[in-house]
Amino acid sequence: MTRRGTGTVRLAESAPASAIPGFRRARPSAAQRRWLARGVDQPGGKLPLFDEDGQAVNPQTIQSCIRQGWAAPWIRNPIKPDWLVCKLTDAGRAALDGEITD
């Protein structure tokens, strides 16, 4: 964590939102639920890079799920380094099951 002159706290990109004191976990949006649900039956909880129509998953969806702790970066793709390959976390499974925890 770093402090700015304005008194706000800025977290490193990889830090989950739950690292913020007093943070209360949100429920996944419809788009987030669709993406997270696709990792439930995959080996290791691998989350897809593309939706059911072959379109790239919105990077905002991926980043917000990582910030919430529902997904975690998994591996780097050496052929496509700009692709963020993620896996479903236990918190992501709980969020899909409706077990929202702090």
Domain ranges of the chain: 32-102
pLDDT value at position 4?
44
Task: Output the pTM of the full model.
Answer: 0.71
Give the residue from 27, 16, 13, 12 showing the smallest Cα distance to 69. Answer: 16
Q: How far, in Å, CA of 12 to CA of 1, rounded? A: 6
Block means of pLDDT (10 residues each) for the chain, 102 residues, are 42 52 72 96 95 94 96 89 92 86 47
Dihedral sign computed on CA atoms, order 23, 25, 31, 35 = positive
pLDDT digits 0-9 by tens, 51-66: 999 999 999 999 999 9
pLDDT value at position 20?
53
The answer for residues whose C-beta is within 8 angstroms of residue 12's C-beta and 6 or more apart is: 1, 2
pLDDT value at position 36?
97
